[in-house]
Amino acid sequence: MFSTGTDVGPRAREAVAAHTQEGLVYQVCRWCHTASFRTLLCPVCASSDLESERSDGHGVVIRSNVVNRYSRVMRNESLVRFPEGFVYRCRIVGAAPHLVNVGDRVRPVGGRTSVAGEVVLELCDPPGSAGWY
């Protein structure tokens, strides 16, 4: 086995193992207590002293876009605000891309991850039937 030069300590192993369970693992700065997601340094004070925390993964959509670049299939990319205090770009599945609105509540999809490493969420309250206008 060869070394890549990066240290894979216990925190990195916890983050990898956490993706197998439902929810998200985020980091909290030990100096200024700012929450961040998938960063190496604190976005406020640039400290590298981050502690891993677990979130249930529920959040609220604050911006929603329908995208079809690099493929023929349309998908939804949304900015989601999590109650822990961070905002992250996620993919919303389980509903037509144009039916995801600002203010919709979302939750993690159990046992499903994206090949590209994006966070995949689904709507807590799916949209009504096709007859609603």
| DSSP per-residue string spanning 89-104 | EEEEESS-GGG--TT-
Strands 105-108, 75-81: pairing kind: unpaired
Is pLDDT at 100 greater than 70 in this prediction?
Answer: yes
pLDDT of residue 56: 87
C-alpha separations of 131 from 127, 128 in Å:
11, 8
pLDDT in tens, 14-66: 444 444 456 788 899 999 999 998 889 999 999 999 999 998 889 999 999 98
**What would the two tokens of residue 19 be?**
């993706």
- The residue-averaged pLDDT of 66-74 equals 82
| Higher local confidence (pLDDT), 23 or 86 | 86
For 12, residues 6+ apart whose C-beta sits below 8 A from its C-beta are none
